[in-house]
Amino acid sequence: MKERVALITGGAKGIGRGIALDLAAQKWKIAICYRTSETEAQKTSLAITERGGQAMAVRCDVSDPVAAKNLVAQVEQQWGQIDVLINGAGPYHRINLFEETVEGWNEMFDGNLHPIFYLAQAIAPGMKARKFGRIINFGMANADQMISQPDVTAHYIAKAGILILTRTLAKLLAPHGITVNAISPGFIDSGSAPPEELAGVTKRIPAGYIGTVDDTVAAVRYLLSDEARYVNGANIQISGAWGI
């Protein structure tokens, strides 16, 4: 891949950080957006430059449509274009549906689903003009099954919505040389959950082990490559066969 510009929301840590560092090794220009993880964002930016990439770290709440639009404009002003959008940001909490608050319910949609819409609207014109673009959204390994989820209801509905939005964007943008795909992780050791908690779910995973950030990064690398130019509207599960 030639030098490109990527915008990664939630890029300060975890899977987003792994993607950023992988692209940095290929000399990409990488803008990472964070909401609260300033220390981690600074460390990731330094790691990007150490690996040969160029870094920009921007504090932004992409659940705000105006802020999301301004984020795209800021990156385009700095580097002239955005070739890749990785929608990795998204809050999560576990609570029974009948104990959920209105604020908590709305947060799951505002943080997980709505930013993809806001950012896609802002970034599509530039991608269309250049006849190239890659958008990757993050779902959830079993969100396509539409099963009951009493303790993560809003989060689950938002993730299912991401799959519909991904396919819709793919159909609308395919004529312009742009692909839009989803990656749906299962249990991944990304640093967000204690090791003992992950160890407890290993027996539920047919593959018999927890996935790594590298497993997810490999799928992203493929979707960004020329080999995946005809893959559009897909949902790749990274779960060791859990959730299917």
127: DSSP letter: H
Residue 143 lies in a domain: yes
Residue 190 lies in a domain: yes
156 catalytic per annotation: yes
Q: Do 142 and 97 contact (CB within 8 A), yes or no?
A: no
| Prediction pTM value | 0.95
73 has pLDDT over 70: yes
- Active-site annotation holder among 118, 156, 209, 222: 156
Residue 71 lies in a domain: yes
Residue 243 lies in a domain: no
pLDDT band for position 240 (50/70/90)?
A: very high
68: domain CATH number?
3.40.50.720
71-77: long-range contacts (C-beta < 8 A, 24 or more apart)? 71/7, 71/33, 71/119, 71/122, 72/7, 72/119, 72/122, 72/123, 73/122, 75/5, 75/7, 75/31, 76/126
Residue 244 lies in a domain: no
Q: What is the pLDDT of residue 171?
A: 98
pLDDT tens figures, 23-72: 999 999 999 999 998 899 999 999 999 999 999 999 999 999 999 999 99
Q: What is the mean pLDDT of residues 182-193?
A: 90
Count: domains in the chain: 1
The domain in which residue 116 lies consists of 5-238
Residue 115 lies in a domain: yes
Residue 47 lies in a domain: yes
